[in-house]
Chain A
């Protein structure tokens, strides 16, 4: 029996093995996915949409891999962010019909509690997460973006400034404002009669979406 692979093993453009291309793409993906994910989540305030845009951005990168590989790392990041920014704008204009990353990546899985926790602890933890998510969703987009880039993207003020084209001092000021407003929003949500702590998981994203429309 012949040992035939069904997959093309050499790229016709570069002559590089396909595995090599995947490895190079994987390196770019690993280097930038966390920051981009944080950026998209900050911009959209919508976890599902952020995953969609993340995937679509890297699909573009995969299709333009030879171009990207010819760029230094800083310019690769600039290219990815430029693509991502445009995709976010497109998504605001009308969400694409395609289903995407969230099919397999449900928040329910992320909220699943460690086995050691009691039922009460699970409820409390899920309630707190819904609360903080709702409060983050109520932040204005510019404040939310810098905050999420810091907390989720693990970027410094200087790095965030570089990514967003703002001075680091401005970013520090925005971070301070974001935390202050978040603390107030959390207090308001906790003191509100219908605090979203008793609703099921499926309601977790509702406040975020509602607030997002208000900001548009």
Chain B
């Protein structure tokens, strides 16, 4: 009865090393598996907000920068009919610039 509760002798260091090496070989990603994962990663779409921010803030034609000079009355003052408000710094915003159907522009409105 005592023998049932005694600890079995640990496996030898040599056998342990052999088993560990075999286990590592089985678990290690081979080139095919690693490549399959890599392909899956680079097929991931870009972050959902990246394109949006880029289209908005692109110095060469981003929506935000494109809208300002094209707003009516940017230089001469906004048209009274389309005027919504005038910011304290004198930055006027016309209805026509806010009411664009430009898909790029809509998220900007949501944020403000």
Q: Hey, which bits of chain A sit against chain B, CB under 8 A? A: 12-13, 22, 25-26, 29-30, 33-34, 37, 41, 47, 51, 54-55, 58-59, 62-63, 101, 104-105, 107, 110-111, 125, 128-129, 131-133, 136, 147, 151-152, 179-180, 182-184, 186-188, 190-191
Contact = CB atoms under 8 A, between A and B. Distances in A.
Measured as residues with beta carbon below 8 angstroms from the partner, the interface class of chain B is 20 to 34
Interface of B: 7-13, 16, 19-24, 26-29, 33-34, 36-38, 40-42, 44, 46-47, 50, 54, 58
B75 to A, nearest CB: 30
Contact of A186 (B19, B21, B26, B27): B19
Contacts of B38: 25-26, 29, 58
A33 B9 CA distance: 37
Contacts of B24: 151-152
Contacts of B44: 59, 62-63
A110 B29 CA distance: 9
A181 B46 CA distance: 45
Contact of B8 (A30, A133, A180, A187): A187
Nearest to A191: B8
B8 A37 contact: no
- Does more than half of chain A's interface fall in helix, strand or loop, or is it mixed? helix
A58 B16 CA distance: 33
A188 to B, nearest CB: 6
Given A25-B41, A186-B16, 15 more contacts: A25-B38, A26-B38, A37-B28, A59-B41, A62-B44, A101-B37, A104-B33, A128-B22, A129-B23, A132-B23, A152-B24, A179-B16, A184-B7, A187-B7, A190-B11
